[in-house]
């Protein structure tokens, strides 16, 4: 019973904030445009501060674990490829829609929900794998999406122009800039002035509650009108197959610290990211399907994510399948 109580106390605040945002979003019905400033605050201010602080005090050796990067990024790619294939089947070859389905089945909520949940569950030693997964999963998916959309004819640019655009967006993304600054600070053992250090601390602490509340409100403002037939399969891939694949590949490719493996499994078990809706809106493709995946995935993850956390926290999951 003590294990269950501790697990409840761990996950309840996270899903509680999502449900709070959902309830207020359904009750108040404020204009959706009002979320723009909160989204900007999260993406350009609070989350970059969080990622900087996660990295700045880490030894550089922890941030160059390329075997870990290969295993986790390959797992995400496999989940994307399988979800993309399922999308092609259900949409009868509609490639733009299928790209969105590929994202829905592989892109975890690694920005908003991942860092605070992993750190609460596993402690500061899990911050390096969280950062590596975030950076390389984003590079993978935000390179695949525009190239596939260009091939499908949605991006009205040449492949060369698309490649340049992708490279620029990767280099200038605020999360990646914060990561680079964190690496520089770690290398030079930089100590921020006290006032700035406290500001970044406060901002990093604001990231999780704001992000989870925003997720709940956003889902509430987009009620599910119909259940696309492929959504249950995509949710199973995202919430069950993806974390299991990460677990198997990390066990097969090397001897990684237990906390790194557990962090990667939990990151893969997170619900679909809110960014899926943003991407579908940007391309004007599969908006309703994106909303359905986020809503259903978030609800189902209350069970599946809690299950993985229970296995980890009670010692019932062995970190390395092939010791």
CB 125 within 8 A of CB 144: no
Query: 82 CB contacts (<8 Å, ≥6 apart)?
Result: 105, 237, 241
Specify the pTM: 0.85
pLDDT digits (tens, 9 = 90+) for 35-90: 788 888 888 898 889 888 878 877 777 777 899 999 999 999 999 999 999 999 98
Q: How many CA atoms lie within 13 A of 45 on its CB side?
A: 13
Helix axes 174-188, 159-172, angle to 10 degrees: 50
The CATH fold assigned to 2-313 is: Na+/H+ antiporter like fold (1.20.1530)
Judged against a pLDDT cut of 80, whether residue 26 lies above it is answered with: yes
Counting Cα atoms < 13 Å in the Cβ hemisphere of 251 gives 15
Residue among 176, 170, 120, 109 at smallest CA distance from 142: 170
pLDDT digits over 252-305, tens only?
987 899 999 999 999 999 999 877 877 777 777 877 778 788 888 988 998 999
What is the rounded distance in angstroms from the CA atom of residue 261 to the CA atom of residue 274? 24
Q: What are 118-134's pLDDT values in tens digits?
A: 988 898 888 889 888 98
Instruction: Calculate mean pLDDT across residues 155-178.
Output: 75
Concatenating the DSSP letter of every residue in 63-130 gives GG-HHHHHHHHHHHHHHHHHHHHHHHHHTTS-HHHHHHHHHHTT-B-TTTTHHHHHHHHH-GGGHHHH
Per domain, the residue ranges of the chain are 2-313
Q: Residues 60-73: pLDDT tens digits?
A: 777 778 999 999 99
Position 156 scores a pLDDT of 64
Taken as a whole, the chain contains a residue count of 323
Section 14-33 average pLDDT: 85
Distance between CA atoms of residues 212 and 183, nearest Å: 27
Residue 73: closest CA among 135, 122, 125, 149: 135
């Amino acid at each position: 019973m003590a294990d269950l109580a501790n697990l409840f106390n761990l996950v309840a605040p996270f899903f509680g904030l999502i449900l709070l945002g959902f309830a207020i979003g359904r009750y108040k019905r404020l204009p959706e445009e009002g979320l723009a400033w909160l989204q900007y605050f999260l993406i350009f201010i609070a989350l970059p501060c969080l990622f900087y602080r996660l990295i700045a005090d880490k030894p550089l050796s922890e941030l160059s674990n390329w075997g870990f990067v290969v295993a986790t990024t390959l797992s995400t790619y496999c989940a994307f490829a399988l979800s993309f294939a399922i999308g092609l089947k259900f949409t009868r070859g509609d490639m733009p829609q299928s790209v969105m389905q590929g994202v829905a089945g592989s892109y975890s909520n690694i920005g908003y929900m991942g860092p605070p949940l992993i750190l609460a569950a596993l402690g500061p030693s899990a911050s390096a794998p969280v950062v590596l997964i975030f950076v390389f999963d984003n590079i993978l998916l935000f390179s695949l999406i525009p190239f596939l959309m260009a091939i499908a004819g949605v991006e009205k640019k040449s492949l060369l122009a698309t490649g340049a655009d992708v490279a620029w967006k990767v280099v200038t993304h605020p999360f990646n800039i914060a990561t680079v600054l964190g690496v520089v600070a770690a290398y030079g053992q930089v100590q921020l002035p006290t006032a700035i250090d406290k500001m970044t601390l406060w901002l990093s602490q604001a990231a999780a509650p704001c992000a989870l509340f925003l997720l709940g409100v956003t889902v509430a403002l987009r009620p599910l009108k119909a259940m696309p037939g492929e959504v249950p399969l995509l949710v199973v891939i995202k919430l069950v197959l993806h974390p299991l694949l990460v677990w198997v590949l990390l066990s097969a490719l090397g001897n990684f610290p237990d906390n790194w493996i557990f962090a990667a499994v939990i990151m893969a078990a997170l619900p679909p990211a809110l960014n899926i809706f943003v991407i579908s809106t940007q391309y004007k493709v599969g908006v309703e399907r994106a909303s359905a995946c986020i809503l259903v995935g978030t609800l189902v993850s209350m069970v599946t994510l809690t299950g993985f956390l229970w296995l980890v926290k009670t010692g019932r999951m062995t970190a390395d399948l092939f010791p």
